[in-house]
Structure 1
Amino acid sequence: MAYPGYGGGFGNFSGQMPGMQPMPGAGPNVFLGGYPGPLPYSDSYSSAGDPMWSYFTAVAGQDGEVDAEELQRCLTESGISGTYSPFSLETCRIMIAMLDRDYTGKMGFNEFKELWAALTAWKENFMTIDRDRSGTVEHHELSQSIAIMGYRLSPQTLNTIVRRYSKNGRIFFDDYVACCVKLRALTDFFRRRDHLQQGFVNFVYDDFLQGTMAI
C-alpha cells in the first residue's frame, strides 16, 4: 500500500547559508507508513554567530516574531529567492500557517530556521528540474519534482495541482513553493490523525475545516 509523504529526502538538505554550521537535528525522522516527521528544533538553540539571525531580527517586532509582511521583507533581504521574483504576501501567509503551531499568525526564529531548511530544499529541487533556467516548470517537470520529494499522487491529483498553481501551463517559483507548502502542511495534518500510520483517517467536519482553512 502506498502512503503519501512530503519528501523522503527533505531532511537530507542542510538548508545552510554561506558560513553557517549544519543545523542540529536536521536529519530525517521517518515514522511508520513512510511519513517523514517534522524537523526537531529546540527552544534553547543559541543564535550567537548565526548569519540568519541578522535577517530575522532586522524585521522582527518587539515580541521576537514576524508576521507575513515582515517575513516577506526578511526573505527578500536574505536573497533566498535568488533571481526569481520575491515571494508574494499570500505565499508568506501560508508559510507561516504551515509552522504556526501556537496559532499566533506569526513566526519565531526557530520556526524561521525550519522554514529556511524547507525553502532551500524546495529551491534546489526546483533548480534541478528547471534545466533551461526559465524560472518556470511544466506539468511533467512538476510531476517529477513531486515524485523526488517522496509524494505518491494519482494522475488526477497531479492534474488538479497543475490547474491550481500553473499560469498558461507553467508553474513559477512562487507558486511552486506555495504548492510545496500546501502539500507538506496537509500531509502533516493528515499524518497527525493517522495514529496507526495506515494511510486513512476519519474526520469530523469541523476538524477538517480547521485543518484546511488554517493553510
Structure 2
Amino acid sequence: MVALMDTSITGRLNSDEFLRLWRKVTMYKDIFFCSDVDHSGMLSSSQLRNAIMASGIRLSDNLLNLIALRYGGSSGNISLESFLSLVLRMDRMAKIFRELNNGGAISLRDNEWMYITMYA
C-alpha cells in the first residue's frame, strides 16, 4: 500500500500521501462492508462487481474474473484486505494511465513499463 501511494517515490509516505491513503482505505472499507450483504466477511463475484462499481471503476466480465482469480484464491471470494489491495492498485494504475494517455492510449518503452509496474 505504501508503494501505491508513494507518489514522491521516497519509500515512505509524507503526511499528504498518508492522509490520502487513510481516506481511501476508510472509503473502500465502507464500500466493502456495504457490499458484503450476507455479512460473511468476504465478497462473492457479484458483490465484488457491485463494490468495484461503487468505487467508481468500470470493468469487463473478463477483468472481473481475472481479479477474482488473482485476489480471491481458489474460492474466488475476496477478503477486506484483498479488496483494499486491489482497489488501491486499480486506482493508482488508472491515475498513471490518465497521466500518460494521449487520446485514450499510451506508448511505453519496456523499461518505462517495468518502472511503473515494479513500484506501483
Flag whether TM exceeds 0.5 (same fold): yes
Partner Cα distance (1:101, 1:127) in 2: 28
Answer yes or no: is 1:214 the counterpart of 2:119. yes
Q: Which of 178, 186, 194 is matched with 2:93 structurally?
A: 186
1:102 match: 8
Aligned: 1:121 with 2:27? yes
More helix by share: 2
Distance in 2 of aligned mates of 1:204 and 1:131: 44
Equivalent pairs, count: 119
Q: Between the two proteins, what is the percent identity of the paired residues?
A: 29
TM-score, structure 2 normalization:
0.92
Give the structure 2 partner of residue 152 of structure 1. Answer: 58
Q: Point out 4+ residue stretches in structure 1 off by more than 2 angstroms.
A: none
Q: Which whole-Å deviations, capped at 9, do the CAs of 1:136-174 have from their partners, x for residues lacking one?
A: 101111111111222221111111011000031211000
Alignment correspondent of 1:140: 46
Any residues of structure 2 matched to 1:1-215 within 5 Å, and which? 95-167=1-73, 168-194=75-101, 196=102, 198-215=103-120
| Letter matched to residue 114 of structure 2 | L
Largest Rg, 1 or 2: 1
Q: Distance in 2 between matches of 1:140 and 1:213?
A: 30
Cα deviation digits, residues 36-73 of structure 1 (max 9, x gap): xxxxxxxxxxxxxxxxxxxxxxxxxxxxxxxxxxxxxx
